[in-house]
Amino acid sequence: MNEIYNKLTTLDFAIVAIYLVALLAIGYIASFRNKKKDETLFLASNSLNWYNIGFNMWGTNVGPSSLLAFASIGFSAGIVGGNFEWYAFVFLTLLALVFAPRYIASKVSTMPEFMGKRYGKSTQDILAGYALIKILISWLSLGLFSGGILVRQILGIPMWQSTIVLVAFSGLFTYMGGLKAIAKVNVFQMILLIIVSLALTFIGLQKLGGITALIDKTPSHFWNLIHPASDPGYPWHALLLGYPVSAVAFFCTDQSMVQSVLGAKNLKQGQLGVNFIGWLKVLALPMFILPGILCFALFPDLTDDKLAYMTMVTNLFPSGLNGLVICVLIAVLVATIGSSLNALSTVFTKDIYVNNMNPQATVQQQIKVGRYTVVAGCVLAVLMAIAFDNIQGKTLFDIFQSILGYLAPPLAVTFLLSVFWKRTTKLAVNVILSAGSAFSLLVGMLNLWILPPDAATGTNTWWPHYFLISFYIFAILFVAAILISLLDKNKVTAAIETAPLPKTDKQVKMLFALLGLVILTLYIIFNGH
């Protein structure tokens, strides 16, 4: 066994066992206390408060890849990874102030249903199929893959065993509870994550001698958010142009993220929840990135940046706390995999089964089909995670971001145009979601598997940065959608909302303005070093 397993004591195993039992108990109580069953598995009967929404969205966003990947970036490049958390403020604001009012006013439970109300059944069916592919790849499989890497580092067991154990527990939890259970438990999970992550940073700083000693032992460019255009890893123009494509698709159109807002008690609670996740993202530096930078200063001989997080845990935490670390890993894994399985079952049940196979399906039939979908999703996710484990030549973080970047352009184009340009036609939306998606995924396959760039051998180095590729695809599809809409003789445009859009409360606007001021201050502080 490896080093961290050898440090586990009876107390560690007891903590893990108690946590697992508590997790299942909370999920069971949260789901079955209310006898009304018709929406329990899907949107929690529109019962979520702002803190449930914020913690649930953050728990879905902060998967196991965050612990591993952000520490990896911190170890190799400093705080540049903060861009992926703080730049997100712009797109969280877009979700809260532009998209959320339209989603809630439409009274939909899925994103395909929203587009179906605007453009018709064919659009809903195409988007439902693509949404299933996106959830399965970018959420379930990649989340399970990164979680499997963490568990493999801890216990030293093969990837296939790690993924089966993780997905079985998460699938059981989702099968029993649905979104309401996941949302309720995420409050507990995320508090636990904050405590353990901040403790790791605090102990590391204490061991090193404080923040001044950390700055002295790291290169000055480690403390810059914006890197020069010549930087091979994260050039500023690639982040500026490419990240918005992924962020719009991720935060504004992704079922796994948006479903918590759809389950809000009202618009204000949904918007406050989105604002809350923005404040939680401010904590990314001390919780996720600083452990990697501290590892660079404390263990400069470490050669594999993927091991940065677990190296810190193994060497800094005393006996008894390792069990708590494993609990945190379980927390983020259940949050990510559970929410993804729930989103997968919601989209398949509502948009494919009910809409196309059995329009007269009873509530119990829908729940049954949703649970079968969870089981199928678990099996497929394990197989794909094992396949991802065989990809060579890219870091975990870059694999995650590049795949999302190739899935995102069709969604970003269609949703932005449907909201901001009323002349967008049904034909344009359907072509972009079908042919445009195929084009985007084909480019991704060429870049990642068929003709991957290899700096060591100098082959296929003509590829631009993956964020720039995503932006170029977005630009091509955006222009194509406009041309198709202008040339379309049968101009079927989006149905106009009959119900007036709910107004945004002044408190919500003030909180977003304050958050924006904090983000701007961070960008000023962490540049020019």
H or E element: which one contains 335?
helix 322-347
The pLDDT assigned to 263 comes to 86
The pLDDT assigned to 40 comes to 45
**497 token code pair:** 């909302």
Enumerate residues 6+ apart whose C-beta is below 8 A from 154: 2, 4, 5, 310, 326, 329
The pLDDT assigned to 443 comes to 96
Tell me how far apart the alpha carbons of residues 424 and 426 are, in angstroms, rounded to a whole number: 7
The pLDDT assigned to 184 comes to 62
Of 98-102, 143-147, 517-521, which range is least confident?
143-147
What's 183-228 look like in SS3? HHHHHHHHHHHHHHHHHHHHHHHHHHCCHHHHHHCCCHHHHCCCEC
pLDDT category at 177 given cuts 50, 70, 90 is: low
Do residues 335 and 179 lie in contact, with contact meaning Cβ atoms separated by under 8 Å? no
Handedness of CA 505, 508, 514, 516 (dihedral sign): negative
pLDDT at 179 over 60: no
pLDDT category at 330 given cuts 50, 70, 90 is: confident
pLDDT category at 27 given cuts 50, 70, 90 is: low
Q: What is the mean pLDDT of residues 329-348?
A: 76
Tell me how far apart the alpha carbons of residues 338 and 489 are, in angstroms, rounded to a whole number: 45
The pLDDT assigned to 189 comes to 67
Q: What is the mean pLDDT of residues 295-302?
A: 93
Tell me how far apart the alpha carbons of residues 484 and 429 are, in angstroms, rounded to a whole number: 9
For residues 281-317, one letter each, b for 16 or more C-beta atoms within 10 angstroms of the residue's C-beta and e for the rest, the string is: bbbbbbbbbbbbbbbbbbeeeeeebbbbbbbbbbbbb
Alpha-carbon distances, residue 270 vs 175, 416, 447, 511, 528 (angstroms): 25, 20, 38, 13, 37
- Which residues is 493 bridged to in the sheet? 425
- Of 70 and 396, the structure prediction assigns the larger pLDDT to 70
- Of 2 and 41, the structure prediction assigns the larger pLDDT to 2
pLDDT at 39 over 60: no
Do residues 473 and 446 lie in contact, with contact meaning Cβ atoms separated by under 8 Å? no
Give the model confidence (pLDDT) of 230-280 as tens digits.
998 899 999 999 999 999 999 999 877 898 898 889 999 999 999 999 999
Delimit the CATH 1.20.1730.10 region(s) of the chain: 4-11+46-390
Tell me how far apart the alpha carbons of residues 129 and 111 are, in angstroms, rounded to a whole number: 11
Q: pLDDT over 70 for what percent of the chain?
A: 88
pLDDT at 33 over 80: no
The pLDDT assigned to 9 comes to 77
The answer to whether domain 4-11+46-390 has CATH 1.20.1730.10 is: yes
pLDDT at 63 over 70: no
Tell me how far apart the alpha carbons of residues 426 and 490 are, in angstroms, rounded to a whole number: 9
Do residues 441 and 403 lie in contact, with contact meaning Cβ atoms separated by under 8 Å? no
**459 token code pair:** 């082959």
Of 9-18, 427-436, 485-494, which range is least confident?
9-18
Give the model confidence (pLDDT) of 180-236 as tens digits.
555 566 666 667 777 888 888 999 999 999 999 999 999 999 999 999 999 988 999
Give the model confidence (pLDDT) of 376-417 as tens digits.
888 898 988 887 887 766 777 788 888 899 999 999 999 999
Mean pLDDT of the chain: 85
In one-letter notation, the amino acid at residue 382 is: V
Give the model confidence (pLDDT) of 416-473 as tens digits.
999 999 999 999 999 999 999 999 999 998 988 888 887 677 678 899 999 999 999 9
The pLDDT assigned to 185 comes to 63
Alpha-carbon distances, residue 133 vs 57, 141, 403 (angstroms): 20, 11, 12
In one-letter notation, the amino acid at residue 369 is: V
Report residue 459: phi and psi, to 5°: -90, 140
